[in-house]
A and B are shown apart, each in its own frame.
Chain A
Amino acid sequence: MTTSDLAPIEASVARAPRRGGRPPSGRRPRVRLAPYLFAGPAVVLYVVFMLIPVLYAIYLSLRAYRLQAGGTFGRRVEVFVGLENYVGVLSDPELLASFGRLAVYGFIAVPLTLGLALLFALLLDVPAVRAKRFSRTAIFIPYAVPGVVAALMWGFMYLPSTSPFSYLTEQAGWGPIPFLTGPGLFGSLANIAIWGGVGFNMIIIYTSLRGIPDELFEAARLDGANELQIALRIKVPLVGPAILLTTVFALIGTLQLYGEPMTLKPMTNDISQTWAPLMTIYRDAFLTDNLPAAAASSTILALGTVVLSLIILGIVNRKRFGARS
């Protein structure tokens, strides 16, 4: 569906969602209740499971437990503390370090996932290429594998005692490859994300490529352009919106990193309990019982995701409008 009415995602992102209900245009005065009934379940679920949790997290993040002196035993009471939790969380070296690790991981995983997805999509779209069906299916298969299971499978392929790669290097006398220690860990974790993400993104970009009318390429071919030039000059710019969308999804996915390091954790000492931000949040919420701190970190993480997505969408919008004018 190449509906161009989907500019709203961009519009909505460019302009904050501030417009309230506008008066019905009166085109169909007969229908009043029906749309509310159709949209009702979604709205109720949205409010209960997204809006209220977000507001509740923000509320919690502004409060803290205090021991109230007085009497023989101190009483634990909840009080309003303003932004204190945010200050605490943002100056927590462990959380900051986990954001640092996440950034390193993201800088490896996101460009490689999207770069490979774009490369494979373009190759699939080259008329002369063979074994397309096989390759497309094989590259898409990891989409069906949960991140935790992917981490489990790769984990065993990293673990020196079961790794086929380390087996080969050991036979060659070089010793095992340090997949799970030191800087190698970043690459190993990123590899799991790349493996799991390339196929789905490839299909999105490829479907978008298939939507481009053939005449565009025919004209270029007649003019003597080769496939590489066609790919770089015509195809890549035209699938820009799909690349943008996949970038945003890849970024959101990166910030949610949790299951993979959790799964690898039993296999290595180099993954601490606070390796990724969400692991720190989980620890605060459930192990050390510091809900306000967990709520503050959750809010920061969610806000960071939204802001990053808006920046990307905004940059691309500006570029596009700049090119148009």
Chain B
Amino acid sequence: MTATGVRAPLSATGRPAGRPAWRTILPTVILVIGAIYCLIPVIWVFIASTKSRGELFTTFSFAPGTGLFGNLADLFAYGGGQFGLWAANSVLYAGVGGVLSTLVSAGAGYALAKFDFRGRDLIFYSILAGVLIPGITLAVPQYLLLSQLGLAGGPLSVLLPSIISPFGIYLSRVFAASAIPQEILEAGRIDGASEWRIFRLVVLPIMLPGMVTVFLLQFVGIWNNFLLPFVMLSNQGDYPLTVGLYTLLAKGSGAPALYSLAIIGAAVSIIPLICLVLFLQRFWRLDLISGGLKG
């Protein structure tokens, strides 16, 4: 932001004098271009969401319009408040699914990392194989299975499959193996604490940073998922935002009026998640992922 086009005095760059300035400027410029590339669609969607229906197709893309409040009112009035329902569903699926998934992963990761038991390797390698199986190719067989059980169609059919996360278990195992000292567990056992008590009072607090990471990955993953809810759900009122916005757009080809709804819907729907990710960025332990493979 600061040093781009400006030929900053060398001293101001905080580097030993005598080095050419382009060594600072060129990499900075490339990086800032990348940043702009990533921001353009976001900026565009916010600007486009201020345009009234007529302005959308007639004025220059990056010129703000006058229809923001009209669009917002239309969006929340659409289909008797369906947009709000979709948003609430997304929060429910991603929030509840993320929390349950994190707890399940933490328990499994702890067991796999800190106990020797019959079948441990089998479980671990099965779960590793699960990391490689694309979750999405499972959606169709999962649907068939859940419809046999009579669960397909309802919210549970989206929530339940979202709880199992092989990658989350794998990360939890990495974290538990490196963060929990064996002595602390032994000490707890000698003091006569039950395994459950040790898990709740000793293990979970230590694993918290790892669990935040797993939670965020799962939350964003479920929030962004499209095919699973698209396949599973039969009732518009159960849709999450991704499927809801998709149906808006798909209908929009016949009725361009829905285009402005899809645009304002997209703009409104990305605000909370961008805020969440930016806010929680500092709590991420992504070194878990990258460090996990250091051989």
Residues of A within 8 A of B (CB): 1-10, 12-13, 17, 19-25, 27-28, 30-32, 34-43, 45-46, 49-54, 56-57, 60, 116, 119-120, 123-124, 126-132, 134-135, 137-150, 152-157, 161-164, 167, 195, 198-199, 203-205, 207-208, 210-211, 227, 239, 241-242, 244-245, 248, 252, 255-256, 258-259, 262-263, 265-267, 278, 281-282, 285-286, 291, 294-295, 298, 301-302, 305-306, 309-310, 320
Tell me which residues across on chain B come within 8 A of A149, comparing CB atoms: 241-242, 245, 266, 269-270
Question: Which of A41, A128, A137 lies in contact with B108, CB distance below 8 A?
Answer: A41
- On whether the beta carbons of B290 and A211 are closer than 8 Å, the reply is yes
Residue among A37, A50, A244 facing the most chain B CB atoms (10 A cut-off): A50
The chain B residue with its CB closest to the CB of A165 is B61
Could you tell me the distance between the alpha carbons of A130 and B134 in the complex, rounded to whole angstroms?
38
Question: Which of B24, B41, B141 lies in contact with A153, CB distance below 8 A?
Answer: B41
Sample of 19 further A-B pairs with CB below 8 A, known A32-B117, A129-B24, A211-B290? A3-B174, A8-B128, A12-B129, A20-B121, A36-B111, A38-B195, A49-B164, A116-B34, A120-B31, A128-B24, A131-B31, A146-B223, A148-B243, A149-B241, A241-B295, A242-B290, A256-B137, A295-B141, A320-B295
- On whether the beta carbons of A205 and B111 are closer than 8 Å, the reply is no
Q: Is B107 interfacial (CB 8 A cutoff)? A: yes
- Given the interface pairs A2-B294, A3-B177, the reply to whether A53 lies near B199 with Cβ below 8 Å is no
Could you tell me the distance between the alpha carbons of A305 and B116 in the complex, rounded to whole angstroms?
32
- On whether the beta carbons of B44 and A31 are closer than 8 Å, the reply is no
- Given the interface pairs A38-B199, A138-B39, A262-B246, the reply to whether A164 lies near B136 with Cβ below 8 Å is no
Segment among B70-78, B79-87, B272-280 that sits at the interface with chain A? B272-280
Interface band, chain B: 35 or more
B residues 142-184 touching A (CB-CB < 8 Å): 142-145, 160-161, 163-164, 166, 169-170, 174-175, 177-179
Could you tell me the distance between the alpha carbons of A4 and B177 in the complex, rounded to whole angstroms?
10
Could you tell me the distance between the alpha carbons of A238 and B19 in the complex, rounded to whole angstroms?
27
The chain A residue with its CB closest to the CB of B163 is A45
Number of A-B contacts (CB under 8 A): 390
Residues of B within 8 A of A (CB): 1-4, 13-15, 19, 23-24, 27-28, 30-32, 34-42, 44-45, 48, 56-57, 60-62, 104-105, 107-108, 110-112, 115-138, 140-145, 160-161, 163-164, 166, 169-170, 174-175, 177-179, 189, 195-196, 199, 220, 223-227, 230-231, 241-243, 245-246, 249-250, 252-253, 259, 262-263, 266, 269-270, 273-274, 276-278, 281, 284-295
Distance to closest chain A CB from B172 (angstroms): 9
Could you tell me the distance between the alpha carbons of A49 and B62 in the complex, rounded to whole angstroms?
46
- On whether the beta carbons of B133 and A10 are closer than 8 Å, the reply is no
- On whether the beta carbons of B140 and A281 are closer than 8 Å, the reply is yes
Tell me which residues across on chain B come within 8 A of A153, comparing CB atoms: 41-42, 44-45, 266
- On whether the beta carbons of A34 and B291 are closer than 8 Å, the reply is no
- On whether the beta carbons of B142 and A53 are closer than 8 Å, the reply is yes
Could you tell me the distance between the alpha carbons of A60 and B140 in the complex, rounded to whole angstroms?
11
Tell me which residues across on chain A come within 8 A of B174, comparing CB atoms: 1, 3, 5-6
The chain A residue with its CB closest to the CB of B108 is A42
The chain B residue with its CB closest to the CB of A265 is B250
Tell me which residues across on chain A come within 8 A of B1, comparing CB atoms: 130-131, 134
Tell me which residues across on chain A come within 8 A of B111, comparing CB atoms: 34-36, 38-39
- On whether the beta carbons of B34 and A164 are closer than 8 Å, the reply is no
Question: Which of A1, A21, A211, A267 lies in contact with B118, CB distance below 8 A?
Answer: A21
Could you tell me the distance between the alpha carbons of A210 and B144 in the complex, rounded to whole angstroms?
45
- Given the interface pairs A42-B104, A141-B274, the reply to whether A131 lies near B3 with Cβ below 8 Å is yes
Question: Which of A28, A128, A142, A252 lies in contact with B15, CB distance below 8 A?
Answer: A128
- On whether the beta carbons of A9 and B137 are closer than 8 Å, the reply is no
- On whether the beta carbons of B226 and A266 are closer than 8 Å, the reply is no
Question: Which of A1, A52, A57, A282 lies in contact with B288, CB distance below 8 A?
Answer: A1
Tell me which residues across on chain B come within 8 A of A154, comparing CB atoms: 41
- Given the interface pairs A3-B292, A157-B44, the reply to whether A19 lies near B30 with Cβ below 8 Å is no
What are the nearest 6 A-B pairs in CB distance?
A17-B125, A164-B61, A42-B108, A208-B290, A138-B35, A35-B115
- On whether the beta carbons of A3 and B178 are closer than 8 Å, the reply is yes
Tell me which residues across on chain A come within 8 A of B288, comparing CB atoms: 1
Tell me which residues across on chain B come within 8 A of A198, comparing CB atoms: 34, 38
The chain A residue with its CB closest to the CB of B140 is A285
- On whether the beta carbons of A131 and B178 are closer than 8 Å, the reply is no
Distance to closest chain A CB from B189 (angstroms): 7
- Given the interface pairs A21-B118, A195-B38, the reply to whether A301 lies near B137 with Cβ below 8 Å is yes
Tell me which residues across on chain B come within 8 A of A20, comparing CB atoms: 119, 121-122
- On whether the beta carbons of B164 and A19 are closer than 8 Å, the reply is no
Provide a sorted-by-A list of 6 A–B residue pairs whose CB atoms are within 8 angstroms. Answer: A1-B288, A9-B131, A21-B122, A152-B246, A210-B287, A282-B231
Tell me which residues across on chain A come within 8 A of B116, comparing CB atoms: 24-25, 27-28
Question: Which of B2, B57, B177, B290 lies in contact with A5, CB distance below 8 A?
Answer: B177
Tell me which residues across on chain B come within 8 A of A265, comparing CB atoms: 250
Could you tell me the distance between the alpha carbons of A25 and B137 in the complex, rounded to whole angstroms?
38
- On whether the beta carbons of B140 and A282 are closer than 8 Å, the reply is yes
- On whether the beta carbons of A36 and B141 are closer than 8 Å, the reply is no
The chain A residue with its CB closest to the CB of B225 is A146
The chain B residue with its CB closest to the CB of A210 is B287
Could you tell me the distance between the alpha carbons of A42 and B104 in the complex, rounded to whole angstroms?
6
- On whether the beta carbons of B120 and A35 are closer than 8 Å, the reply is yes
Distance to closest chain A CB from B56 (angstroms): 6
